[in-house]
């Protein structure tokens, strides 16, 4: 039951940070209907989950539930990513759609890798 509480708190904090960072990023870099806010949040989330996983997976404590499952789960957003891709498809922005999907997957994997490397050193 305690783990559910940590997931709840982490998820709430992650969601609030996602909203703040996504809105700030989208206002700062409004580039040709590219969903920069979600992209930046998801890449930061990939990096953080790499760091947190590398460090906290070794320990069986509440921090992995608070930070990995809760915070990163609330912070990153696959559903928004999918909805934005659908919107790009519907509006005929095929080049932005392809760029967004490819960049998200490749840069996301690289961010997880770097997160794992940072915390191992």
Q: Per the annotation, where are the binding residues?
A: 73, 76
Binding site for Na(+): which residues?
A: 73, 76
Task: Report the SS3 class of residue 34.
Answer: strand
Burial grade of 112 (CB within 10 A; 0-12, 13-18, 19 or more): buried
* φ, ψ for residue 117, nearest 5 deg: -70, -40
CB atoms within 10 A of CB 61: 10
CA distance 82 to 109: 17
3-state secondary structure of 6: helix
């Amino acid at each position: 039951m305690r783990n559910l509480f940590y997931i709840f708190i982490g998820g709430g904090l992650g969601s609030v940070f996602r909203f703040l960072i996504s809105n700030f990023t989208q206002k700062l870099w409004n580039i040709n209907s590219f969903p920069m806010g979600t992209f930046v949040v998801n890449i930061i989330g990939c990096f953080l989950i790499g760091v947190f996983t590398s460090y906290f997976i070794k320990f069986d404590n509440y921090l992995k539930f608070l930070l990995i499952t809760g915070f990163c789960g609330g912070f990153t957003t696959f559903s928004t990513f999918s909805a934005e891709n659908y919107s790009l498809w519907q509006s005929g922005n095929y080049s932005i759609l392809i760029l967004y999907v490819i960049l998200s997957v490749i840069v996301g994997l690289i961010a997880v890798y770097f997160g794992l490397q940072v915390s191992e050193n």
